[in-house]
Amino acid sequence: MEIEFQTEPQRYKHWHLRLDGRVAHLILDVDEDGGLFNGYQLKLNSYDLGVDIELNDAIQRLRFEHPDVSIVLLESANSTVFSSGANIRMLAGASHAHKVNFCKFTNETRNAIEDASAWSQKTFISVIQGTCAGGGYELALATDHILMADDGSSSIALPEVPLLAVLPGTGGLTRITDKRKVRRDIADVFSTLEEGVRGPKALTWGLIDQTVPPSELAGVIEHLVCQLEEPPDTAGNRKGIILKPLERNSSDRTVSYSTVRVDKNRTGRTATLTISGPQSAAPENNDALSASGAAAWVLRCARELDDALLHLRFNEPDLGVLIFRTEGDSATALHHDAFLNQHAEHWLVREIILYWKRVLKRIDLTSRSLVAVIDPGSCFVGLLSEIIFACDRAYMLIGQLDGDPRPSPVVTLTTSNFGPYPMSNDLTRLKTRFLGRPSAVTELFDLIGNPLPAQICLDLGLVTFAFDELDWEDEIRIFWKNVLHFRLTPGLDWRQISLSWARDYGNQDFWSPNCVAELDLPTHNAAGNKAHYADMVPAKKGFSIPNVRSR
């Protein structure tokens, strides 16, 4: 079964999105029989990937379609349970790779909530009534304020050790200590309590922000909303745009969008993502961009690339090497890049920039071998050149190919490469690339706007290899041969993960189908048993809990 990531509110099975002026109500009402796969029921507001796909869509629409919304209330339609977290029987029947990608997508969605809080002037409030456990509490942790009914039965729990953790140590533990600043010893006790804690103790421990008697809950929420001042530039002067469904044509070998094409080589186990640059000039002004809406190249390309990456993660696990190419006019692409940087204060431009930031992080955290190929006719400039620095390797042609009239490839840096699109470690990709030589970043800043040919890119450290026409085909072929020999082995994934991040940020991308030991906690729990760690495959040496930042 192919997993589909496109949806819309009219098709939601598990969420209700209700708008009331500047307040949006996101109400979790999971359809027990609406699971993404057969063989389980989503009882007690538990969730599977399908629930999070809808949540991700809702967050996107609140940012683009409803920019005037400044407060989002996360609520449950079930008065006895907020959410019991990820569905255990779903996890028991899932492959290890699916569990890993499921966890990764879930955390990226929580990160998107925190990103909207930080940059999109939206305040998220969790309203907890009833049981809130595991991933349900992780969802609440992603919000700005946690409000809990003090009714003697409502409770929160994160039983990562005694009951279940899909990938132990990768869930909400880091948000408890890093975000909520809960004492480490308290967090240690909390994560070992099967029954969790109720309102007064949860408040004392700093796990929630407020407790309220059930009879006063509605009034307190109303008072809280009134206390939150409306951001100065949201006073009715924003007009949202509609995120229309993406146009996509799929076959066994290709997935085609208007700006992205995915070519699958199943024999070679590779997928080539070709990104087409803009074919028309950048918008003249913000009004023109708003009028174009979701059809604007810079937003359309981000949405299509995002969808393609998720498709490859979940539906094509055997395509171990992702090759990134671009095609188009560099000058036109530069104009679009400049438009974003010049109009970054406009709400829609800001949201597009933030979306590209999330898409580029999605590339960073995709556990495949990532390769950029920079050949004639490419347009790796500004924003698009960030893809080069997200890849494990970059190959660039020196000059042109015989008989190919397209211009020699160049890379052009812009201000986009020096701040707007940081990695999860809060550093730009160039700063991460040149940690051992910070002066290199300053030198590169002085080259903004200059088309840099292959040999100069090689000398500056922007690409891994540069070959002329005589060696180009042979060197690329040798690379494919070597990487396919090692692909889909734990060693390669661990190598990439260790090298992709820097300093204490190493292992942030350890959520990989090939580099985490098979842990059958979900299988144990689905059968009604407690976890017996001695029965499980031991984790590899060097395993450490990642410093998952809330971005």
Percent with pLDDT over 90 in the chain: 76
Distances (CA, A) of 243 to 26, 42, 62, 184: 18, 29, 11, 42
Alpha-carbon span 216 to 537, nearest angstrom: 49
On the CB side of 223, CA atoms within 13 Å amount to 8
φ, ψ for residue 68, nearest 5 deg? -75, -15
The topology (CATH level 3) of 249-486 is 2-enoyl-CoA Hydratase; Chain A, domain 1 (3.90.226)
Task: Give me the residue spans of the domains in the chain.
Answer: 11-229, 249-486
**Residue 395 bridge partners (DSSP):** 373, 465
pTM: 0.90
State the average pLDDT for the chain.
88
Long-range pairs of 494-501 with CB within 8 A, sequence gap ≥ 24: 494/540, 496/367, 496/369, 496/392, 497/367, 499/392, 500/364, 500/392, 501/423, 501/425, 501/432
Q: How would you class 317 by CB atoms within 10 Å of its CB: exposed for 0-12, middle for 13-18, buried for 19 or more?
A: middle
The reported pLDDT for the residue numbered 24 is 98
Instruction: Kindly indicate the confidence band of residue 163, based on its pLDDT and cuts at 50, 70 and 90.
Output: low
Query: For residues 301 and 246, is the Cβ–Cβ distance under 8 A?
Result: no
**Residue 73 bridge partners (DSSP):** 25, 125
Q: Average pLDDT, stretch 14-40?
A: 97
Token digits of residue 480 = 């494919």
**Which of 367, 366, 338 has the alpha carbon at shortest distance from 353?**
338
Encode pLDDT of 51-67 as tens digits: 999 999 999 999 999 99
Alpha-carbon span 455 to 436, nearest angstrom: 22
Alpha-carbon span 173 to 192, nearest angstrom: 11
CATH 3.90.226.10 correct for 11-229: yes
pLDDT reading at 430 higher than 60: yes
Instruction: Kindly indicate the confidence band of residue 544, based on its pLDDT and cuts at 50, 70 and 90.
Output: very low
pLDDT reading at 26 higher than 70: yes
The reported pLDDT for the residue numbered 231 is 73
Q: Average pLDDT, stretch 257-266?
A: 98
Alpha-carbon span 303 to 450, nearest angstrom: 29
Q: Is there a shared CATH topology between the 11-229 domain and the 249-486 domain?
A: yes
* Token pair 């890119």 in the structure block, residue: 457
